[in-house]
Structure 1
Amino acid sequence: MISRWLFVGLFLACLVFVVSAQRRRYNDLPPGPYCKSRGCCPGRQDECAAPILGTLCYCDEFCNQTRVEDCCPDYWSECLGIEPEPVPTTPPPGEFKTCTYEGRNYGLGQTVKKNCNICKCEQIGNTVEFLCERNHCLMNTLLIETVNRERNYGWTATNYSKFWGKTLEEGIATRLGTLQPERFVMNMNPVRKIYNPDILPRQFDSTIEWPNYISKIQDQGDCAASWAISTAAVASDRFGILSKGQEIVKLSAQELISCDKRGQQTQNCKGGYLDRAWAFIKHRGLVDEDCFPYEGYDKECAIDIFGDLRANGCRIPANSQRTSKYVTAPAYRLGNETDIMYEIMVSGPVQATMLVNNDFFSYVGGIYEKTDIIESHKKGFLSVRIVGWGEEYTNKGYMKYWKVANSWGRDWGEDGYFRIVRGRDESEIESFVIAAWPEIARRRYPSLPVPQTPDVFK
């Protein structure tokens, strides 16, 4: 008796499987007539069915609450008044369908690149169209047009050809490169300055005050080396300014990229820490740009970091007794807007980090502040050099700004510089500002004032 019931149970289970398998094929069936002949029923009525492929399909409302496969193929149109989506079909023999982009036809399966996204020509139902990736692009035409059309953001945008076709993720990975300092570094107390804020002018520009000493704009290329370029540039500027022109030098950012490996990335073109860069200059020093020129990739260290200029085959500056590499005193942190202004006016440009929003890559002029036109969660930190400040009346009213040197080449921004809102910590640019004095200048030129600075970055 038990064997007979077991046999019956297995038979019913197989029957259910076959029926279910058949039901899954309904999408391949012609649309009726099933419910059109049988009629539609309210609620759940198991007898409200029509024969199909040796089983039943349903025309009651309950079938719409369970599985689509249980409904008759014409249930949607006859009972709900909803036309089903067209079933993809293959073009008839001899008919060749194409996708069109910028006046050119592409066959099925062919691809084209639209900005930073790859699009493939695919058939959707009875039509063909491009199906594209959905990456955030570094250059976004909607964002650029909105900034320029509404003209109430305080700045203007443009489409940079060198950024076109790159994703935002690629831009962050290759054009920024400053790693967030560890918590103990961020918690270091800023240096306290003693001065009269009334002496600070409304406008100041290091490039005008010391035109022969300020480093030129550099292009880091696709190496995430803003941390190295801004560090070397600030140190270079201060050698010229604080030595009163006796030590005009352009220091090697490539040496930091290639040789500063203690606590840094394995590949320094993927980013670096500012505090460790300044510690390297303090303990090892840098050679000049001519001795180890910038190439923008992780090339092998070609410098003896313990040797002097002669040991490294570097040029000895004219009318100078220097043989050692260029070393700075410990770096120190600055705490607020007026302290930063006073420091620049007295000692030269300072280094800052800023949190870069996707719209910043399109900046071409004006006083920048981030927008919310297209929000992206992908952001990163960029190291820059604050060289001055100013203020002006705009269509947004009276605005104060910093003048800042970037490292994306002179074809970006305002001849390589940008202006950004001052006094509001816009894009966190006032959160972590640091500077250092050239150690050799203090020793060789004893008449220079000696700053009282803590050893922040050891």
Structure 2
Amino acid sequence: MCNNGYQRPQCSNCEVQPLFKTLSTTTLLLLLIGFSAIVNSQHNSHWDLPGPYCGARPLSNQCCRGRQDGCSQPILDTICYCDEFCNRTHAPGYQDCCPDYLPVCLGIRPEPIIKKCYLNGRFIEIGETYKINCNDCKCQWMGDRMDLICDQQECIINSTLINIVNNNWNRYGWRARNYSEFWGRRLSEGISLRLGTLLSARKVLAMAPISPDYDARELPFSFDTRHKWRGLIELPRDQGWCGASWAISTVSVISDRMNIHLNSHYKPLSPQHLLSCNVRNQPDSGCNGGHLTRAWIFIRKFGLVTEECYPWEGYRTRCVIPKRKHAKESRCVSPQMQRSPLHRVAPVYRIAGEQDIMYEIQKSGPVQATMRVYQDFFTYGSGIYKCTSIAKEHRTGYHSVRIIGWGEEMQYGQRVKYWIAANSWGESWGENGFFRIRRGSNDCKIEDFVLAAWAAQEKTASINFKDPTSIDNRISNAI
């Protein structure tokens, strides 16, 4: 019995025959190699502790034959042994030899323990930090082994999710991609910095939609504003790592509709003007989201300069353009341009229902839609998007886009209807910056809150209403 309560296991025959008398040279060599492997395994967690232990005993009695419980040395808060019994292979897990037993008693020099982690073809030093996707990992000694300990953050890019989508193309109807811009970023960053639309108050969300008067049978099966108004529809912008889809989508819809109204490609308007100057009742930074209705109100009151006058910076700068309700032009930020006209819009209005949205786009141009974004949307590459069930368990956010048209496609014998929408993540994402999403099923709530406005220069509406006397009331409702 040891002084710390540890008791060595009992055996019916504690006498261990000397190895050198009973084994041939070849057998001895193989056995010694086995001993070396055991020493470097998990059976003894003290092999890396510096000694000497057996080497500190008297030369005449450094190593003992058979089982001799007194042939021991203190180590940490227990004891280790220098007798033959300590190195018994018939009882795995019971090796209790001193760390220097093999070199001192058997003349075997065990391989040194390499305190490094190994991953993807390279060694990682102890204490070194290594990044796997969006998670930081550190190589640490875990008592008896090296281990790479990683954060457990959810990343934007999930390789397993991409494989599931691509391996089930016939089920989901779209394909996923790994985007280098999103690799290494946390999902929380994507939600807060690549989206950027805040849900407005309940009374705003409940605003009554317009009621256009048209024959739904005359709506075509497919329609694309890029074809009807060639050269007048903006290409997708890139908002960067600034949660400003609220500003980008609003300004892009206005630019498109102004071009359509003028029937010429006018200079695009400035989303930076809106981001920097629309600060009332909006979040402090502008890049953490914004309210759509407040953006439309700002443009109606104060107008916007062109992008050439106020170039995109991707963050909220100090507003340098005065807010004057009746001003017709303003000085510019850019030294290449002195002054720019201020472009305003009529009151914003809401469109509800698949066919009403189609009619609005066909008659007046692109509209603004708010959608709920799930993790898998970041990886959209092509096809007709719909949310996957595996992505719905993770954090989501709201994003504003432009719907510019619609169409239909046959997928595995089924007719699938879709919207064509412009995102604001650059032209390298999706289908050259655009994406298609299922139509008529309100996928990702994209048909819930659709807005538009006419260019302020328009004298009359370009669409017909069932009750023309109620137009002003409806389009200003709750704004």
Answer yes or no: same fold by TM over 0.5. Answer: yes
Partner of 1:189: 208
Match of 2:238 among 219, 243, 253: 219
Partner of 2:40: none
Three-state SS of the structure 2 residue aligned to 1:166 is: coil
**1:242-281 mapped onto 2 (5 Å cutoff):** 242-245=261-264, 248-281=266-299
Asked if 2 retains the 8 angstrom alpha-carbon contact of 1:287 and 1:309, the reply is no
Q: C-alpha deviations, 1:398-419, integer Å up to 9, x for none?
A: 1000000000000000000000
Partner of 1:110: 128
Match of 2:372 among 352, 355, 362: 355
Asked if 1 retains the 8 angstrom alpha-carbon contact of 2:386 and 2:438, the reply is yes
Asked if 1 retains the 8 angstrom alpha-carbon contact of 2:153 and 2:186, the reply is yes
Question: Once structures 1 and 2 are overlaid, which stretch shifts more, 396-405 or 299-308?
Answer: 299-308
Cα distance in structure 1, aligned partners of 2:448 and 2:423? 18
Asked if 1 retains the 8 angstrom alpha-carbon contact of 2:196 and 2:399, the reply is yes
Once the two structures are TM-superposed, the CA of residue 457 in structure 1 deviates from its matched residue by: 5.7
Q: C-alpha deviations, 1:267-310, integer Å up to 9, x for none?
A: 10111000000000111111111010111011111212227464
Cα distance in structure 2, aligned partners of 1:286 and 1:225? 16
AA partner of residue 206 (structure 1): T
Asked if 2 retains the 8 angstrom alpha-carbon contact of 1:239 and 1:441, the reply is no
Cα distance in structure 2, aligned partners of 1:323 and 1:177? 28
**1:65-104 mapped onto 2 (5 Å cutoff):** 95-104=113-122
CA RMSD of aligned residues (A): 3.0
Three-state SS of the structure 2 residue aligned to 1:338 is: helix
The reply to whether residue 32 of structure 1 matches residue 7 of structure 2 is yes
Bigger radius of gyration: 2
Residues 367 and 291 of structure 1: is their aligned pair in 2 closer, same or farther, counting only changes over 3 Å? same
Cα distance in structure 2, aligned partners of 1:265 and 1:396? 47
Once the two structures are TM-superposed, the CA of residue 434 in structure 1 deviates from its matched residue by: 0.5
Cα distance in structure 2, aligned partners of 1:305 and 1:281? 10
Partner of 1:304: 322
Once the two structures are TM-superposed, the CA of residue 240 in structure 1 deviates from its matched residue by: 1.3
Residues 450 and 397 of structure 1: is their aligned pair in 2 closer, same or farther, counting only changes over 3 Å? closer
Once the two structures are TM-superposed, the CA of residue 29 in structure 1 deviates from its matched residue by: 6.0
Three-state SS of the structure 1 residue aligned to 2:208 is: coil
TM-score (norm 2): 0.73
The reply to whether residue 335 of structure 1 matches residue 356 of structure 2 is no
Three-state SS of the structure 2 residue aligned to 1:296 is: coil
Asked if 1 retains the 8 angstrom alpha-carbon contact of 2:375 and 2:394, the reply is no
Once the two structures are TM-superposed, the CA of residue 102 in structure 1 deviates from its matched residue by: 1.8
Once the two structures are TM-superposed, the CA of residue 441 in structure 1 deviates from its matched residue by: 3.1
Asked if 1 retains the 8 angstrom alpha-carbon contact of 2:305 and 2:330, the reply is no
Residues 123 and 342 of structure 1: is their aligned pair in 2 closer, same or farther, counting only changes over 3 Å? same
The reply to whether residue 202 of structure 1 matches residue 221 of structure 2 is yes
Three-state SS of the structure 2 residue aligned to 1:420 is: strand
Partner of 1:456: 477
Aligned residues: percent identity?
43
The reply to whether residue 234 of structure 1 matches residue 209 of structure 2 is no
TM-score (norm 1): 0.76
Asked if 2 retains the 8 angstrom alpha-carbon contact of 1:119 and 1:132, the reply is yes
Asked if 1 retains the 8 angstrom alpha-carbon contact of 2:212 and 2:463, the reply is no
Once the two structures are TM-superposed, the CA of residue 427 in structure 1 deviates from its matched residue by: 0.2
Cα distance in structure 2, aligned partners of 1:85 and 1:268? 65
Once the two structures are TM-superposed, the CA of residue 212 in structure 1 deviates from its matched residue by: 2.0
Asked if 1 retains the 8 angstrom alpha-carbon contact of 2:306 and 2:340, the reply is no
Three-state SS of the structure 1 residue aligned to 2:346 is: coil
Cα distance in structure 2, aligned partners of 1:35 and 1:274? 79
Q: C-alpha deviations, 1:153-179, integer Å up to 9, x for none?
A: 100001000000001001111100000
Q: C-alpha deviations, 1:205-228, integer Å up to 9, x for none?
A: 011111221112100000101000
Residues 106 and 389 of structure 1: is their aligned pair in 2 closer, same or farther, counting only changes over 3 Å? same
Q: How many residue pairs were aligned?
A: 376
Cα distance in structure 2, aligned partners of 1:289 and 1:359? 32
Cα distance in structure 2, aligned partners of 1:295 and 1:441? 31
Once the two structures are TM-superposed, the CA of residue 449 in structure 1 deviates from its matched residue by: 6.6
Stretches of structure 1 that go unaligned for 5 or more consecutive residues are: 1-25, 38-82, 316-321
Q: C-alpha deviations, 1:406-449, integer Å up to 9, x for none?
A: 0000000000000000000000000000100011233xxx6967
Cα distance in structure 1, aligned partners of 2:478 and 2:319? 23
AA partner of residue 477 (structure 2): V
Partner of 2:192: 173
Match of 2:155 among 127, 134, 137: 137
Stretches of structure 2 that go unaligned for 5 or more consecutive residues are: 13-91, 101-109, 466-470
Once the two structures are TM-superposed, the CA of residue 387 in structure 1 deviates from its matched residue by: 0.1
Residues 374 and 345 of structure 1: is their aligned pair in 2 closer, same or farther, counting only changes over 3 Å? closer
Once the two structures are TM-superposed, the CA of residue 97 in structure 1 deviates from its matched residue by: 2.1
Asked if 1 retains the 8 angstrom alpha-carbon contact of 2:364 and 2:462, the reply is no
Partner of 1:79: none
